[in-house]
Amino acid sequence: MRTRFAPSPTGYLHIGSLRTALFVYLAAKSMDGKFILRIEDTDQSREVSGAVENLIKILDWIGINFDEGPHIDGGFGPYTQSQRVEIYNKYIQELLDKDEAYHCFCTPERLDSMRKEQQEKKQAPRYDRICRNLSKEEVLGRLSGGERYVIRQKMPLDGEIVVHDELRGDITFKCADMEDHVLIKSNGIPTYQFANVVDDHLMEITHVLRGDEWIASFPKNILLYKSFGWEAPKFAHLSLILNKEGGKLSKRQGDVAVEDYRAKGYLPESLLNFCVLMGWHPKDDNEILSLADMQEKFRIEDIGISPAVFDVEKLDYFNGYYIRQKPLEELVALCKPYLAENISKTSEERKKRDDFLKKVVALEQERMKKLSDIKEGTEFFFSEIEYESELLIWKKLTKEEVKNNLEKMAELLNEIQEGNWIKTSIEERVMAYLKAKDLKVGDYLWPMRVSLTGRKASPGPFEIADVLGKKESLERMKNAINKL
Ligand code: GLU
């Protein structure tokens, strides 16, 4: 069993391609097979420098590893199509010799006017096969005269072809609907249709999983295998991924690059878990899946064929889940790059407190949907806070009352020993007081919390006071009192 992921290097990894890569990888791993990376870069107008290195890097970060590819020789290389042109030349010659392909000398101008004419006559645009029956002598003459040409596949003129998709069963195509498409372009470079078949054969690929946009090419591919007399691999076409509105996922509508998700602080395990469910579902309905779980449970035949829906809220759900599962030390390390700017703004004293970052991160761990949330959510811990004094006012209280309440709280907190300054003891102290005097909780805790954070919404006052430490908490409360 051998599968391959065969991307065209575009400079970033599309989230849909990640889904394809994952399914291809899982197909191989679920059957103890080999997983191969092949770079399909024959469309040179799209070549982007560094794209292959980036691709390997991001897949490596995700945890999808190859057995063979441009970076790991498995004896089937080169694994990059632009380095295989000689191989394609040899095989196209074989097809020409077998009379399964032919030279076409039609100029782009002629093809244009042909298409226009077909459009006017409301016919399907299709090459009219004018070069299909040129005599050998004429072809040789025109070749030696240096005329530009492409090489086309000689398709059957009538009848039907039935192809078998592992997920959809048999699919029938009418040969009359298929044109003699180009196998080798006028610059000598093969098209996807040709290079892909030659490579899958030579690389001994047994299972092809690819997007369903290639279903239209499927009969052409199978006919090529037949022309060569090769056995075709098994094919499974993966359904399209649609956005929530039912449209195509496009770069314009937001992030489709896995690199962008990484930068925002989505974890590899979340992206994998999210992607695997776009078109596949575990039989036991347990949707939380590690890569190892997926390897164990995934079967090609269980892939669905209806379009998958891209739901970013689901991705956020998984990411929140995996963030909560992280050991704190690890999460702190993951959050650090997002906190770098905040850390640079904070006092030397706080920087030295080695539990400070841990406490900040622990406080957000439950809430975070992505690592980047840590920055905005915890900014008030690191630098001076600014807010309007009105924010300190709880409901119908007057300024005077709020001031008194804050003074009382500060007095109470000041009595707590530095060494005893932890959330539970702060909370016990304050709550015992409020209860004993039968005071309303909001009248005291709202101003206290705002004085510590400067925000309308934040975690509760006791845990924040704990993280800030006694000195900083009392200073902030004093500042608030002075504002009133
Ligand atoms: N290069 C093609 C793509 O990027 C590969 C399709 C296939 O897997 O055959 O869509």
Per-residue pLDDT of the chain (484 residues; tens, 9 = 90+): 999 999 998 889 999 999 999 999 999 999 999 999 999 998 866 667 789 999 999 999 999 999 999 999 999 999 999 999 999 999 999 999 999 999 999 999 999 999 999 999 999 889 999 999 999 999 999 999 999 999 999 999 999 999 999 999 999 999 999 999 999 999 999 999 999 999 999 999 999 999 999 999 999 999 999 999 999 999 999 999 998 888 888 776 668 999 999 999 999 999 999 999 999 999 999 999 999 999 999 999 999 999 999 999 999 999 999 999 999 999 999 999 999 999 888 888 777 776 899 999 999 999 999 999 999 989 999 989 999 999 999 999 999 999 999 999 999 999 999 999 999 999 999 999 999 999 999 999 999 999 999 999 999 999 999 999 999 999 999 999 999 9
User: How far away, in angstroms, is 7 Cα from ligand 1 center?
Assistant: 5
Number of Cβ atoms within 10 Å of the Cβ of 343: 14
pTM, rounded to two decimals: 0.92
Cα of 218 from ligand 1 centre, angstroms:
12
For ligand 1, atom 3, the nearest C-alpha belongs to 7
Provide the token pair at 301.
Answer: 């035949």
Closest Cα to atom 4 of ligand 1: 7
* Encoded tokens for 433: 């007081």
pLDDT of residue 200: 98
Q: Could you tell me the distance, in angstroms and rounded to a whole number, from the CA of residue 216 to the centre of ligand 1?
A: 13
CB contact burial 171-207 (16+ within 10 A = b; e otherwise):
eebeeeebbbbbbbeeeebbbbbbbbbbbbbebebbb
Given the CA of residue 40, which atom of ligand 1 is nearest to it? 1
Ramachandran sector of residue 122 (left: φ over 0; alpha: ψ -120 to 50; beta: rest): left
**In this structure, are residues 281 and 308 in contact, taking their beta carbons and an 8 Å threshold?**
no
| Ligand 1 atom with minimal separation from the 4 CA | 8
- Which positions are catalytic? 251
Q: How far apart are CA 195 and CA 210, in angstroms?
A: 15
Contact of 383 with 392, CB cutoff 8 Å: no
Measured CA to CA in angstroms, residue 100 lies from 58, 93, 141 at distances of 41, 10, 20
